Amino acid sequence: MQFKDVMVNETLKKRLVSLVDENRISHAQLFLGKNGTHNFALAVAYAQYVCCEDRHDGDSCGKCHSCVMFEKLQHPDLHLIFPNCIAKSVKKDPESDLFAQDFREFVFNNNYHIDFDDWVKELKSDNKVISINIRDCASIIRKNSVRSHENGYKVYILWMAEKLYHAAAPKLLKTLEEPENKTLFILLAESSDAILPTILSRTQLVKIPPLPEEVIRQHLIDEECMSEQEAADIAAISENNYIKALKLKGENAELHKFHKYYSLFVKSATSFVQTGNLNDVEYFSVQNAIKDISKNGKDFQRNLMLYFSRMFRNELLINQKGKALVKATAEELKTLESFQQFFTIKNAMPLYNECNKAALHLERNVNVLMVFTDFYFKIAQNFAKR
């Protein structure tokens, strides 16, 4: 992985390059960036640059023996540490080394856009606790006590450092504070709150900024062959998260369904408040929609309620002159603007709470027809209170 292939701020890339070129590499660094920021790819590109035999023009050469091994994530001095647990392939005493091949395949299959929830599914952990455990820490200490294979840097990348088991973390403190010469620890985290202060105090913070909407849009066009409009729509609702954008791409047909249901429910509920005329209300269409929704799986129904929550929030923002903060597709924006008059400070929170209640009932396996019928009438009542 070269810097040129990483989706990250160019200024940050130049900063990391200068640290290496000026021989100011801090032995322990914390790369802090929210999910979807390509932080794992950045860590690998940085490590590859550190170990490259012929780096130039602000990037690794991509051709030397070291770079070739890094491209395979099999450099003998690159050590990947990540959350793990007992699984079908590892029945006892799990640690990162035992899952190394599985993790490499996971990284390559996702083109370095890796997500913790996806890794949990990959492990098929059956709700077991997933962590960077004591055995991982012992392995780091053991490897750090011997010389590097290539007489250069030994690099340890700890992905999801917030999953470092607290009872195991103290074992690393001395190693982080006084590592062997030419040792580089790169801790990757989405939030620093779950990391022990004693670990934080021993690392140099590198903040990775969220990806701009325009960068996501352009990559969806260039890398995913999406149309200009589709890429713009998905980038707008991705919340600066490229992993989420890729998932939305696969769920695009589902999003259109969600929009259709939202438009029908809100149009019918507001008409019910305004006229009470069944012809205007289109209640039979709502009933048919609810029947269709009930035929889909729990994930679809849960995601539909999340969609309603997002749209309700956007409606309030538009009503309160906060359109600049709205995350919506062009099609959604037209719908939001057509209904904005019905959303006020008074009914916004009750409407949002109805989404949460419906989601909770779905989790508890309450009859789906009852949940969505009740949800429809509750939002109609709240529109009447505006």
User: Could you tell me the strand order of the sheet in which 204-207 lies?
Assistant: 78-81, 154-158, 183-189, 28-32, 204-207
Contact at 8 Å (CB) between 130 and 170? no
pLDDT score recorded for residue 109: 93
pLDDT attached to residue 278? 63
- Determine the pLDDT at residue 125: 72
Tens of pLDDT, residue by residue over 47-56, are 999 999 999 9
**% residues pLDDT > 70 (the chain):** 98
> Do residues 346 and 385 lie in contact, with contact meaning Cβ atoms separated by under 8 Å?
yes
Sort 124 into a burial class: Cβ within 10 Å, 0-12 / 13-18 / 19+. exposed
pLDDT, tens digit, for every residue of 189-207? 998 888 888 888 889 999 9
Residue 277 has pLDDT above 70, yes or no: no
Give the model's pLDDT for residue 128.
79
Please state the domain extents for the chain.
3-210, 214-249, 252-384
Structure tokens at 84: 């793990």
CA distances from 100 to 84, 94, 146, 246, 371 (A): 10, 11, 20, 25, 44
Q: Are 199 and 173 in contact (CB under 8 A)?
A: yes
- What's the pLDDT score for residue 386? 66
How confident is residue 60, by pLDDT bands cut at 50, 70 and 90? very high
Whether the per-residue pLDDT at 275 is higher than 80: the answer is: no
Q: Stretch 145-169: mean pLDDT, rounded?
A: 85
pLDDT at 181 over 80: yes
Are 305 and 362 in contact by the 8 Å Cβ rule? The answer is yes
Please tell me the predicted confidence (pLDDT) of residue 309: 92
Specify the pLDDT at position 239. 87
| The CATH number of domain 3-210 is 3.40.50.300 | yes
Spatial CB neighbours of 82, under 8 Å, sequence gap ≥ 6: 96, 99, 103, 119, 132, 158, 159, 160
What is the overall mean pLDDT for the chain? 89
Answer yes or no: is pLDDT of 297 > 90: no
- Chain segment 74-122, per-residue pLDDT in tens: 999 999 999 999 887 788 889 999 999 999 999 999 999 999 989 998 9
Q: pLDDT for 206-249, tens place per residue?
A: 999 999 999 999 999 988 888 888 888 889 888 899 998 888 88
Mean pLDDT, range 125-134, rounded to an integer: 82
CB atoms within 10 A of CB 283: 15
**Predicted confidence (pLDDT) per residue in 326-365, tens digit:** 888 888 899 998 998 888 888 888 898 999 999 999 988 8
